[in-house]
Amino acid sequence: MATSTRAFYIDLYREHLEEASFLYEQRLALYPNPEVTWKKIGAFEERLEAHIDGLVVGDKLALDICKTHAAEGDFGELFAAMCVFCRQARRDLVLSALEQLDPGDNKKATAVADAFKFEIPDAWLSDFLTLLGSGDPKLAPILGRAFGYRRQQCGPQLMNAMRRCAPAALPGIVWSLGRIAYEPAKGPLLDYLHSEEEPVRSAAAIALARIGEHAVIDYCLGQAAANSWSILPLALAGGHSVLGPLTELSRKKAAECAIALGIIGDPASVPLLISLLEQEDASGPAALALLCITGADLYETVFVPDEMDEGELFDSEREQLKQGKPLDRGDGRPFGSNVTRLSQNPDDWNRWWRTNGTRFVPGVPYRHGGSLSPGRLTEMLAADRTPNVLRRFGCEELAIRYRSDFGLETDMPAVRQIKLLSEAAVWSTSQVRFQEGAWYFAGTPV
């Protein structure tokens, strides 16, 4: 119990930091959860904001506590502390925290990058761009990611960082070059398509597609059979001509090709996708692909067993598992929980398709039940229940197909996303040059 006013506030600010850390970590964990919509995540963001604001108004005492926890606390406390330092314009405390940062601690490096993405003051940009251009192996990945996220035009600095950064940081720098669509980067990015590291090749392909380099489509088409990384950029940039090769390839790479067929959007793929629901590794991606094309809200509640770590089990429990007997809670109920997910039941989708299939025209791309267009993509992005993975692909498509980015990222705070989607909706209503139900790449018909 606090025995003085100062002790009371110290306890209060520590509690703000602990709660902010929990909410930041929870926010990261919610994005892959199919049962949590992006707007529901916004409710966690509002609570997180309240705790950070409580630290900002705490002035010097709160800053002292943030400084200690930035050095000694967990990655969520580091995120909150860096947000407070930025809002208080304490560049000295930011640089001190960066100096103490272990670049091998991915969680803390990501936390700092997230804080910069959201909070770095405009007045600091010039100095921090200089730091990015220096190619510092610790700072370049963090600053590069943050500036690419903010669409800060920093191509020369990113190119310099790309030449000097550690191999592990290269995918992030390449990603950022694609985000700002830096044309002079085309040559090096084409070279990176041949990198020995798959994350680098994948990032380079997406970056080139966002910049509008047509050669990436043919290259990925030639790589798809041997290299799964090329399938997604091929789907995001390609048109009807890639449907046949992806359909054929789905016999060997069902899971990877299922979501790609959904992004291509031709309803001719629906029967194949329904059949893929029967394959365990492809059922989830196939359900997402069917939703992507049809917009059908077919959900089911299923029991999902808990994953068991055999190292934490008693010998008798391990023996029980070896005999094929499920473990239970002692009352006959197995470990696990009921979850609501997109239906992976072929019967559900076959019934829906028999009733609604005549509304879809083969050879025309669809998105979420309507003909593909900027407006349709924007509507899908704005829909509350659209799964986060489809929203992420939708953002890429706006930039790759229509050269319209809006600075939108699906891990932005929900209030920021809502504002940008409103701007995108207004823009899409004025785009008479894009024919509805046609494939585009870099603003031109495929």
Is the whole model's pTM more than 0.85, yes or no? yes
* Torsion from C-alpha of 228, 230, 234, 236, nearest 10 degrees: 90
Considering only CA atoms, which of 296, 440, 266 is closest in space to residue 366? 266
φ/ψ bin of 406: left (φ > 0), alpha (ψ from -120 to 50), beta (otherwise): left
Sign of the dihedral defined by the CA atoms of residues 234, 235, 241, 243, in that order: positive
pLDDT exceeds 70 at position 357: yes
Q: Please report which confidence band the pLDDT of residue 255 belongs to, taking 50, 70 and 90 as the band edges.
A: very high
What is the overall mean pLDDT for the chain?
92
227: in domain = no
231 token code pair: 């399938």
Average pLDDT over residues 86-101: 95
104: in domain = yes
Average pLDDT over residues 54-83: 95
- The lowest-confidence range among 40-49, 108-117, 300-309, 427-436 is 300-309
Helix (H), strand (E) at residue 440: strand 440-441
CA atoms of 424 and 430, how far apart (whole Å): 10
Contact 84, 66 (CB under 8 A): yes
316 token code pair: 């008798």
Give, rounded to a whole angstrom, the gap between the first and last alpha carbons of the chain.
68
Q: Quickly list H helices, 180-280.
A: 186-192, 198-211, 215-223, 231-237, 243-249, 254-264, 270-276
Domain that residue 47 falls in: 1-119
pLDDT of the residue at 339: 78
pLDDT of the residue at 166: 82
Q: 384 burial class (0-12, 13-18, 19+ CB within 10 angstroms)? A: exposed
Count of domains for the chain? 1
Q: Please report which confidence band the pLDDT of residue 3 belongs to, taking 50, 70 and 90 as the band edges.
A: low
pLDDT exceeds 80 at position 350: yes
3-6 own/partner pairs: CB under 8 Å, 24+ apart: 6/61
391: in domain = no
421: in domain = no
CA atoms of 233 and 176, how far apart (whole Å): 16
Q: Using one digit for the tens of pLDDT, what is the confidence trace for 257-269?
A: 999 999 999 999 9
Considering only CA atoms, which of 89, 113, 83, 91 is closest in space to residue 101? 113
264: in domain = no
Say whether 373 sits in a helix, a strand or coil. Answer: coil
CA distances from 221 to 169, 216, 224, 237, 409 (A): 27, 8, 5, 11, 27
Average pLDDT over residues 310-339: 64
300: in domain = no
CA atoms of 41 and 31, how far apart (whole Å): 8
pLDDT of the residue at 103: 79
Average pLDDT over residues 132-151: 90
pLDDT exceeds 90 at position 301: no
CA distances from 402 to 150, 372, 396, 443 (A): 20, 11, 10, 4
Contact 231, 289 (CB under 8 A): no
72: in domain = yes
pLDDT exceeds 90 at position 315: no
110 token code pair: 């990501």
Name the residue type at position 425. A
Q: Using one digit for the tens of pLDDT, what is the confidence trace for 395-421?
A: 999 999 999 999 999 999 999 999 999
pLDDT of the residue at 331: 59
Helix (H), strand (E) at residue 339: strand 336-342
415-424 own/partner pairs: CB under 8 Å, 24+ apart: 415/42, 415/45, 417/38, 418/382, 421/378, 421/381, 421/382, 424/374, 424/378, 424/381, 424/398
pLDDT of the residue at 325: 66
Residue 335, phi then psi, degrees to nearest 5:
-75, 130
Instruction: Calculate Rg over the CA atoms of the chain.
Output: 24
pLDDT exceeds 60 at position 308: no
